[in-house]
Amino acid sequence: MTNKQIKKVLIVGGGTAGWMTAAALSNTLKPDYCEIELVESEHIGTVGVGEASIPQIRTFNRSLGIDESEFVKRTKATFKLGIKFDDWGKLNESYFHPFGPYGLNMNGISFHAFFQKLYTKTINNNALEEYSLQAMASRENKFMRPVNAGNSPLSNIAYAYHFDAGLYAQFLRNFAETRSVKRTEGLISKVHQNGENGFITGVSLEGGKLIEADLFIDCSGFRGLLIEQALKTGYIDWSHWLPMNRAVAVPSQSDKNLPPYTHSKALSAGWKWSIPLQHRVGNGHVYCDAFISKDKATAQLIEELKTPAIGSPNHLQFTTGRRKAFWNKNCVAIGLSAGFIEPLESTSIHLIQSAIGKLLQMFPDKDFLPANIQRFNKVTDYEYERIRDFIILHYHATSRNDSKFWDYVRTMSIPDTLKEKIDLFAENGRIFRENEELFNDTSWFSVMIGQGLRPSGYDPIAGVQSNEETAQRLQSIRATIAKSAEVMPLHSEYLSKNGLID
Ligand code: FAD
């Protein structure tokens, strides 16, 4: 061990971010390398939402060696094949954003080039869904994990989960504690900093206990106890593009149909989610208080519930945006303390996972090299901004004009980076995935088409196939996908037959 080695990491916060960080760090940094402690306060509690994920979470769980079936049972999880959007592009219209690609092998040319060539003037959301196994299976609430079936799309079913966030944190807590993470219950009342360089040296709990460390991970949620309240890092506010600033959440009784997707329905000044779990449905209304009152937003949510509510509504406030620096001095912000884009595409838990991965790749020593910190911040900025653009697209690319809210988002200015993407698509339907941006061309395509954008032409590369060949190929893909969806079991049956229900 060199004298520069980090010997103690303190994680502040025990929500999803805190326990994911504790689990991953303890799995990699063995106890004889450095000590890990996590402080959380039952008095403050956790944000209590955040239950829909994207497929990358499977990589996170696998990297910890977590058994999937045990995870599903213990967190009362269900499987997720994508998101169904109602009333976003237009009232009474729906589309599905599936995980996994559209189409099958297209000889290296993107599926959407051929799709656009064939459908140029007649593209509709239902037609597009027929090229996605996830979307077709979801229509009938079907699900199965991939099986070994050669070239069949059944060999390659991309999926994620809906899970109970409290149970997931408990599950990871157990994992981390068995790997020597020390958990301390207490309310942090003071953060101590070095008088010369401002680095954090320790925190004091109410009652006086002092906990010192070398590296601090701020997982304290929206309050940003270390990164903002102590280090005054600053916040970049994106409310002009993403005006949502409140949410009201209420669980309801379980839906026996167990839809294998998150449902997002656009309302007059925001949108409503419903997330089916084994034992309940998580519901919430994300809205902007400049366009609707708290009482009306709550009433709209209750009106939309498909099953009777359980308990009383939980109200939350936030400002969309990101911290000016995610890593500042010897403090790394992970989770809501780092920023919040809003939950429309279930990206926050992914951003936690991604930050943990980068932290482990760039794990510091006590020198805290500025170049290392800058790199971490640069890559994370990029990641946040690309996700931000993708979310803005959902609001901006709409023809809804039935409320002041929709008039605002439809006509607002948008970031240049998003404008470039939309302009390119408008020409000939091309979409480029840049660097390591999270959402690939399938995602952009499904949302662009779903929200009503139509390119004026098609990608010239689709000319490599005649119209007849293209029509035949697409017809055969539709048939294969329909046949595959047919043999899939109901999601509810799949869970019970495989012993996945607790
Ligand atoms: P929190 O859960 O708020 O945890 C903060 C922790 O810090 C708590 O343990 C608290 O006790 C502790 N703490 C704070 N102050 C102190 C103190 N002074 N002393 C000691 N301890 C302290 N993400 C998704 O990926 N999918 C979704 O579907 C999704 N939906 C969402 C819906 C809404 C409305 C919102 C607001 C968020 C949603 N998210 C979603 C985001 C997701 O909820 C968060 O990313 C995730 O829960 C992580 O939160 P956290 O751990 O950073 O913060």
Q: What letter represents residue 67's amino acid? A: D
For the chain, the 3-state helix, strand and coil shares in percent, each to the nearest 5, are 40, 20, 40
pLDDT tens digit sequence for 257-266 = 999 999 999 9
Q: Is residue 385 part of a domain?
A: no
Average per-residue pLDDT for the chain: 96
Q: Is residue 72 part of a domain?
A: no
pLDDT tens digit sequence for 52-93 = 999 999 999 999 999 999 999 999 999 999 999 999 999 999
Give the per-residue pLDDT at 109: 83
And the tokens for 455? 């390119």
Asked if residue 402 and residue 487 are part of one domain, the reply reads yes
pLDDT tens digit sequence for 391-433 = 999 999 999 999 999 999 999 999 999 999 999 999 888 988 8
Q: Is residue 287 part of a domain?
A: yes
pLDDT tens digit sequence for 303-338 = 999 999 999 999 999 999 999 999 999 999 999 999
Give the per-residue pLDDT at 216: 99
| 48 CA from centroid of ligand 1 (Å) | 7
Predicted structure pTM score: 0.97
Structural contact between residues 470 and 118, judged by C-beta atoms closer than 8 angstroms:
yes
Q: Is 128 exposed, middle or buried (0-12, 13-18, 19+ CB in 10 A)?
A: buried
Q: Is residue 101 part of a domain?
A: yes
> Could you please report the per-residue DSSP string of 318-362?
---EEES-SEETTEEE-STTTEE--GGG--HHHHHHHHHHHHHHT
Asked if residue 486 and residue 404 are part of one domain, the reply reads yes
Q: Is residue 65 part of a domain?
A: no
Give the per-residue pLDDT at 432: 83
Q: Is residue 69 part of a domain?
A: no
Give the per-residue pLDDT at 70: 97
Query: Mean of the pLDDT values across residues 102-110?
Result: 81
Query: Mean of the pLDDT values across residues 196-224?
Result: 98
Q: Is residue 57 part of a domain?
A: no
Taking the C-alpha atoms of residue 219 and residue 335, their distance in angstroms, rounded to an integer, is: 6
Asked if residue 199 and residue 171 are part of one domain, the reply reads yes
Asked if residue 347 and residue 199 are part of one domain, the reply reads yes
User: What residue numbers bound the domain in which 350 lies?
Assistant: 8-51+164-238+320-368
| pLDDT confidence band for 118 (50 / 70 / 90) | confident
pLDDT(124) > 90: no
Atom of ligand 1 nearest to the CA of 189: 18
Q: Does 44 sit in the ligand 1 pocket, CB within 6 Å? A: yes
Phi-psi region of 294 (alpha: psi -120 to 50; beta: other; left: phi over 0): alpha
Asked if residue 325 and residue 306 are part of one domain, the reply reads no
Q: Find the CATH number of the domain harbouring 221.
A: 3.50.50.60
Provide the percentage of residues in the chain whose pLDDT is more than 70: 100
pLDDT(94) > 70: yes
Q: Which of 49, 341, 346 to mutate to test ligand 1, by most ligand atoms within 8 A of the CB atom?
A: 49
Q: Count up the domains in the chain and report the number.
A: 3
pLDDT tens digit sequence for 265-296 = 999 999 999 999 999 999 999 999 999 999 99
pLDDT(103) > 90: no
pLDDT(1) > 60: no
Asked if residue 329 and residue 188 are part of one domain, the reply reads yes
Strand order in the sheet with 270-276: 94-98, 82-86, 262-266, 270-276, 280-287, 246-253, 314-317
Q: Does 346 sit in the ligand 1 pocket, CB within 6 Å? A: yes
**Among 52-61, 220-229, 324-333, 463-472, which stretch is predicted with the lowest mean pLDDT?**
463-472
Q: What angle do CA 61, 66, 67 make, to 5 degrees?
A: 120
Q: Is residue 497 part of a domain?
A: no
Q: What letter represents residue 460's amino acid? A: P
Taking the C-alpha atoms of residue 318 and residue 205, their distance in angstroms, rounded to an integer, is: 26
Going by the DSSP 8-state scheme, the letter that residue 225 receives in this structure is I
Catalytic, 296? Answer no
Q: Does 49 sit in the ligand 1 pocket, CB within 6 Å? A: yes
Asked if residue 207 and residue 333 are part of one domain, the reply reads yes
Q: Does 225 sit in the ligand 1 pocket, CB within 6 Å? A: yes
* Total residue count of the chain as it appears in this document: 502
pLDDT(2) > 70: no
Asked if residue 412 and residue 359 are part of one domain, the reply reads no
Asked if residue 33 and residue 170 are part of one domain, the reply reads yes
Closest CA to 70 of 172, 144, 186: 172
pLDDT(158) > 60: yes
And the tokens for 369? 């090299």
Asked if residue 230 and residue 263 are part of one domain, the reply reads no
Last residue of a domain, one of 275, 296, 317: 317
Asked if residue 170 and residue 229 are part of one domain, the reply reads yes
Give the per-residue pLDDT at 344: 97
Asked if residue 458 and residue 354 are part of one domain, the reply reads no
